[in-house]
Amino acid sequence: MDLAGLDTALLGGAVGGLAMAALLPLLSLVVPGPPTPLRHTLPRALGVLACLAAAALGARGLAGGSGASIECWPGFPGQPFTLGPDALAAPFLLLFGLVGAASIAITRDAREGAGGRTRLALHAGFAAMLFVVFATRHALLFLFAWEGMTLLSALLVAADPRSARARTAAFTYLALSHLGAACIALALFTLSAHASSFRFDALAQSYAALPAADAVRLAWLFTFGFAVKLGLVPLHIWLPLAHPEAPAPVSALLSGVMVKAGLYGLLRFVWQMPGAPPEHWGTVMLVLGIASALVGALYAVVESDAKRLLAWSTIKHAGLLAVGAGLAAQLAAAGQPVVAGIALAATLYHAIGHGLAKSLAFLAVGEAVHAAGTRSLEHMGGLARRLPRTGLAALIATLALCALPPLSCFAGEWLLFQALILGYSAGAGQLRLLAPFAAAGLALASALAVAAMVKLHGIGFLGRARSEGAATALEPPRDVTTVLLAASVLPLAWGLAAPWSVAALGLPLSALLPGFDVHTLQGLRGLTLQPALLQANSISPLAAAVLVALFALIAALWLRGGTGLRALRRSPSWSGGAPLEARMQYSALGFTKPLRLIFEPVLRGERELEVLEEGSPYFARRVRFRTSMPALLERLLFAPIVQSVLWVSEQARRLQTGSLHLYLAYLLATLVALLLWGR
């Protein structure tokens, strides 16, 4: 059977389908007509099918597909634009396809008038750009898609034009992203000027031919540019602003997939370049990764906006990815390719595991937010009972994001920890110093993330409804919950099948580390994850899950037997004799008060208490209480930069006096200067 044709068909179908899904809603804006079901179903269906084709393409790539490619001539000099995913792109395409399909399938935009149709067009266009970023092998097309991805998602972030918060978010996002994109563009153009070609393989050759100092400079440019997308501290400040402002299905793509485009860029343009990554790159990534993990987890704990909490948690997981990549680079440099392979396998596995879990979290929480009419955890509550299916999906996502076995984030963290232990024993210089701190930092970050996720689900979904909106929330329609439940299977399956999932990443891993055999990570015919270097330590999420389920079942049957299968009784909660009110529950703010107090020296929370009406000397009748977490990094690091930019532009304005004579003098001066310079 000829599968090359299949690959090409999948590739073409994915691009074409996404393009159609983006253009059809626009067309229906232009061509007036009655809103037929076809009009809003067709673009969505096309988008979902195209995403599934992309996922299939990714899966084929992981299985060693034939490497289909499509070329098209853009009409200006240079090589034709090439779309042809290779082994490294395959896992990212798989992730993109699965998340993208769920994200487009769940969106309600198509039914909501002209604004909704525009949003659907932007949504599908954004997905198409993401696909091209992963699929292209042409630097110019990569840059176009990279930029398109940023611009279209910024439009979606600013989708609500009345919200000042959304405008600020979109502006910060655009400013930082363009700084990053400028670095990437500079580096790519430098390389392609040397290579006189835009093809990735030619770029790698010209990188090898560069003088060492220049090559190192380019590698750092790439690192800066992609670290912005990955959301590493201190370039993360846009992420918790922008990700939550977009509609939830788009947030799922942003946090689940686009952040991984940063990792993809780092791996492709820093790791895969000959002779790269440069010295100290691993150390820098490791340190930034731990910092990001801690900052993300800590701010997730103190956040009470449900979607922003998830965005902070994305920073934590992006930190883990950076730790994995940095660790792998250090180990590879120290001549430990096998251990480096473990770290890299952890990185790739976790990139997908986190992508699946985080997008599910955004989709489910987004539905809950929609139903309750608020994003604040303080006004949610009781939703797991009112929206059982959405609640179940949210529960699976939160448990997965706590890195609990057997879900999708656990095995990645386990592999990372194994690599840390092995790296420490291998005793590579700085790693000996850093590994213990990395282990402790990751442990603290994981424990904090657990607190944050328990807060998200426990305060947002359990207990009593904390507002009118939450008390009257309705389960979303059947097709939406079906998508949610289907998407909840993914993190579960990726985690349960961890040894096989890691083995499936063999091709991209050996593309990154030639000679690395992923099967050294498997034991017992694939049932367990077992790095060959260590003695007998293995885990099997599947076996552990079976054991837990088995014993839970036995316990349930046995304990129920004692009461003769008597059904349980429901009764109102008892609260010390007083009638229970929703306000008596722990609030999201109160829930993390102990952690906030313990980390007060770092967080520097601000609170303000004003007594409005004195009842008696001891009890105020009405108070106004306000508390906030200042954005310390913005204040300490970015504010001075913004100030100095403003100062410079203030000075530059003096040149523009409005006097024609002065402008003519500028012309003359420039002319003379050019003549002198060109002499």
Q: Work out which of 202, 447, 620, 629 binds other proteins, going by CB under 8 A.
A: 447
Nearer Cβ to other proteins, position 551 or 647?
551
DSSP character for 238?
T
Nearer Cβ to other proteins, position 22 or 449?
449
Q: Is 484 exposed, middle or buried (0-12, 13-18, 19+ CB in 10 A)?
A: buried
The least distance separating other proteins from the CB of residue 600, rounded to whole angstroms, comes to 11
The least distance separating other proteins from the CB of residue 414, rounded to whole angstroms, comes to 6
Contact between 538 and other proteins by CB under 8 A: the answer reads yes
The helix (run of H) or strand (run of E) holding residue 72 is strand 70-72
Count of beta carbons in the 10 Å neighbourhood of residue 147: 16
Q: Work out which of 9, 70, 210, 454 binds other proteins, going by CB under 8 A.
A: 454
Comparing CA positions, the residue from 258, 195, 204, 209 lying closest to residue 231 is 258
Comparing CA positions, the residue from 459, 456, 491, 446 lying closest to residue 356 is 491
Contact between 585 and other proteins by CB under 8 A: the answer reads yes
Contact between 277 and other proteins by CB under 8 A: the answer reads no
Distances (CA, A) of 116 to 23, 40, 70, 130: 14, 10, 32, 21
| Contacting range for other proteins; rule: CB under 8 A; set: 121-129, 365-373, 587-595, 642-650 | 587-595
Residue 34 tokens, joined = 């009655």
The least distance separating other proteins from the CB of residue 124, rounded to whole angstroms, comes to 35
Contact between 436 and other proteins by CB under 8 A: the answer reads yes
| Contacting range for other proteins; rule: CB under 8 A; set: 3-11, 272-280, 371-379, 546-554 | 546-554
The helix (run of H) or strand (run of E) holding residue 39 is helix 37-62
Among residue numbers 379 through 418, which ones bind other proteins (CB under 8 A)?
A: 381-382, 384-385, 388, 391-392, 395, 399, 402-405, 410, 414, 417-418
Nearer Cβ to other proteins, position 559 or 667?
559
| Contacting range for other proteins; rule: CB under 8 A; set: 51-59, 65-73, 163-171, 559-567 | 559-567
| Contacting range for other proteins; rule: CB under 8 A; set: 176-184, 276-284, 501-509, 574-582 | 574-582
Task: Please give the Cα distance from 232 to 269 (Å, whole number).
Answer: 17
Q: Work out which of 63, 114, 597, 668 binds other proteins, going by CB under 8 A.
A: 597
Number of residues that bind other proteins (CB under 8 A): 94
Residue 656 tokens, joined = 């523009």
The helix (run of H) or strand (run of E) holding residue 213 is helix 212-230
| Contacting range for other proteins; rule: CB under 8 A; set: 61-69, 197-205, 280-288, 583-591 | 583-591
Contact between 548 and other proteins by CB under 8 A: the answer reads yes
Contact between 553 and other proteins by CB under 8 A: the answer reads yes
Distances (CA, A) of 345 to 341, 376, 418: 6, 37, 11
Nearer Cβ to other proteins, position 165 or 432?
432
Count of beta carbons in the 10 Å neighbourhood of residue 162: 6
Task: Please give the Cα distance from 420 to 95 (Å, whole number).
Answer: 26
The least distance separating other proteins from the CB of residue 438, rounded to whole angstroms, comes to 10
Q: Work out which of 31, 568, 652, 660 binds other proteins, going by CB under 8 A.
A: 568
The least distance separating other proteins from the CB of residue 468, rounded to whole angstroms, comes to 16
Distance from CA of residue 330 to its chain's centroid? Answer: 24
Where do the H-state alpha helices sit in 379-477? 383-386, 388-401, 410-426, 429-460, 468-471
Nearer Cβ to other proteins, position 304 or 585?
585
Task: Please give the Cα distance from 54 to 484 (Å, whole number).
Answer: 20
Q: Which residues contact 28 (CB under 8 A, 6 or more apart)?
A: 39, 117
Nearer Cβ to other proteins, position 115 or 436?
436
Q: Work out which of 525, 570, 624, 679 binds other proteins, going by CB under 8 A.
A: 570
Beta bridge partners of 623: 611
Q: Which residues contact 260 (CB under 8 A, 6 or more apart)?
A: 92, 95, 321, 351, 355
| Contacting range for other proteins; rule: CB under 8 A; set: 3-11, 163-171, 553-561, 661-669 | 553-561
The least distance separating other proteins from the CB of residue 94, rounded to whole angstroms, comes to 26
| CA dihedral sign of residues 260, 47, 178, 157 | negative
Contact between 224 and other proteins by CB under 8 A: the answer reads no
Contact between 591 and other proteins by CB under 8 A: the answer reads yes
Q: Is 36 exposed, middle or buried (0-12, 13-18, 19+ CB in 10 A)?
A: exposed
Residue 135 tokens, joined = 């699929």
Nearer Cβ to other proteins, position 134 or 414?
414
Contact between 82 and other proteins by CB under 8 A: the answer reads no
621, 615 in Cβ contact below 8 A?
A: yes
| Contacting range for other proteins; rule: CB under 8 A; set: 86-94, 145-153, 174-182, 563-571 | 563-571
Contact between 294 and other proteins by CB under 8 A: the answer reads no
Comparing CA positions, the residue from 255, 396, 242 lying closest to residue 316 is 255
Q: Is 620 exposed, middle or buried (0-12, 13-18, 19+ CB in 10 A)?
A: middle
Contact between 442 and other proteins by CB under 8 A: the answer reads yes
Among residue numbers 309 through 338, which ones bind other proteins (CB under 8 A)?
A: none
Contact between 547 and other proteins by CB under 8 A: the answer reads yes
Among residue numbers 203 through 222, which ones bind other proteins (CB under 8 A)?
A: none
Q: Work out which of 458, 491, 495, 506 binds other proteins, going by CB under 8 A.
A: 458
Contact between 623 and other proteins by CB under 8 A: the answer reads no
Q: Which residues contact 19 (CB under 8 A, 6 or more apart)?
A: 128
567, 450 in Cβ contact below 8 A?
A: no
Helix/strand/coil for 214: helix
Helix/strand/coil for 613: strand
Q: Work out which of 29, 443, 642, 669 binds other proteins, going by CB under 8 A.
A: 443
Count of beta carbons in the 10 Å neighbourhood of residue 172: 18
Residue bearing tokens 């909840």: 488
| Contacting range for other proteins; rule: CB under 8 A; set: 111-119, 162-170, 276-284, 548-556 | 548-556
Nearer Cβ to other proteins, position 175 or 440?
440
Nearer Cβ to other proteins, position 437 or 666?
437
The least distance separating other proteins from the CB of residue 338, rounded to whole angstroms, comes to 14
Contact between 602 and other proteins by CB under 8 A: the answer reads no
The least distance separating other proteins from the CB of residue 97, rounded to whole angstroms, comes to 29
Q: Work out which of 451, 487, 509, 518 binds other proteins, going by CB under 8 A.
A: 451
Q: Is 213 exposed, middle or buried (0-12, 13-18, 19+ CB in 10 A)?
A: exposed
Task: Please give the Cα distance from 186 to 154 (Å, whole number).
Answer: 22
Q: Which residues contact 556 (CB under 8 A, 6 or more apart)?
A: none
177, 150 in Cβ contact below 8 A?
A: yes
Nearer Cβ to other proteins, position 155 or 395?
395
Contact between 565 and other proteins by CB under 8 A: the answer reads no
Helix/strand/coil for 84: coil
Q: Work out which of 463, 476, 506, 508 binds other proteins, going by CB under 8 A.
A: 463
Among residue numbers 413 through 432, which ones bind other proteins (CB under 8 A)?
A: 414, 417-418, 420-421, 424-425, 432
| Contacting range for other proteins; rule: CB under 8 A; set: 68-76, 125-133, 218-226, 457-465 | 457-465
Kindly write out the interface string for residues 485-524 of this chain, putting x where it contacts other proteins by CB under 8 A and - elsewhere: --------------------------------------xx
